[in-house]
Amino acid sequence: MTCPSLAVSVHAGQAISRAADQRVNLTLADRPRQQGRDRLGNPVECTGSALRNLPVFAGDKEEGRRLDDLWQGLMQAIWLVVTLDADLVEISLRSLQVTLSALAFACLVAMPLAALLTVRRFRLRRSVIAVMNALMGLPPVVVGLVVYVLLSRSGPLGALGLLFTPWAMIIAQMIVIIPLIASISHQSLRDLWFEYHDLLISMNVTRWQKITTLLWDARRALLTAALAGFGRGIGEVGAIMIVGGNIDHATRVLTSAIALETGKGDFALALALGFILIALAIAVNLVIHWLGRTEREGRW
């Protein structure tokens, strides 16, 4: 398999990205230009991201081998990490910041909601749960569009000036992951409620106490729900791309950078960022699991 002429696609990609940047009035042209090299060694003019100044690792003799892209991607990923590339650190931290914030807010909404749906019987409860489960499949692009419309200058929340800021991305991601977290939480809370129901009723526990008891005693399962939400959030690109605008040094995150590099035809760099994204997701999972394990109470 051969890939299309790289030089052409790189320039086309830049034109597109420049146009997009101009749209939000934040040209990258202001930034110092640097000479980069594509995998064939041709000098490529590009905007001033250190990410473009990557060494080319062995294997540049044959053009367009996807396997070679993988290899290049892996090596570049290692290189980026080892050299603690400033841009990489920045977009990785922003990825984490956006998704962890969205996750925190989403958990604050989704988990009490799930608990309330568990302990309260009301007429439309089943319907609400069914809708919540269906919303797990909510297309992020659509969420992005809706949030975009709401936050755009002429929209109802335009006065807040949040569009193309990390806050817009946090809001969009929150909406994407709330149904997922609420659904998974609800399932485990419902199982626990089935176990606890008679005892708590017998103890004349108030509704609020029921909710706090369930949330506390199901905390391990809720952690899993939160991790699922984190996984969906950190890998999500559709919504944050639309509301964030993928602005360098402002709203660019790992996923949107991957989309950009892929659009430019720099598959190796895109893959490198992809590997880093995966590594980051795994690392966060491990850290959270480890934090959860440090309690002395043993397994449940």
If the CB atoms of residues 97 and 212 are measured against another protein, the closer one turns out to be: 212
Distance of closest approach, residue 194 Cβ to another protein, in angstroms: 11
If the CB atoms of residues 6 and 192 are measured against another protein, the closer one turns out to be: 192
Which residue ranges make up the site for another protein (CB under 8 A)? 192, 195-196, 198-199, 201-205, 209, 213, 217-218, 296-300
If the CB atoms of residues 30 and 198 are measured against another protein, the closer one turns out to be: 198
219-234 and 166-202 are packed helices; what angle lies between their axes, rounded to 10 degrees?
160
Cα–Cα distance measured from residue 101 to residue 77, given in angstroms and rounded to the nearest whole number: 26
Coil, strand or helix at 38: coil
Coil, strand or helix at 169: helix
Question: Helices H, strands E: what count in the chain?
Answer: 11, 2
Distance of closest approach, residue 111 Cβ to another protein, in angstroms: 16
Distance of closest approach, residue 181 Cβ to another protein, in angstroms: 20
Q: Provide the pairing of β-strand 34-37 with 43-46.
A: antiparallel
Distance of closest approach, residue 293 Cβ to another protein, in angstroms: 14
Cα–Cα distance measured from residue 169 to residue 245, given in angstroms and rounded to the nearest whole number: 9
If the CB atoms of residues 30 and 295 are measured against another protein, the closer one turns out to be: 295
Distance of closest approach, residue 203 Cβ to another protein, in angstroms: 6
Under a CB-based contact definition with an 8 Å cutoff, are residues 225 and 219 in contact? no
If the CB atoms of residues 25 and 294 are measured against another protein, the closer one turns out to be: 294
Distance of closest approach, residue 182 Cβ to another protein, in angstroms: 21
Across the chain, which distance is largest between two alpha carbons, in Å? 77
Q: Tell me the residue length of the chain.
A: 300
What kind and span of H or E run contains 187?
Answer: helix 166-202
If the CB atoms of residues 167 and 193 are measured against another protein, the closer one turns out to be: 193
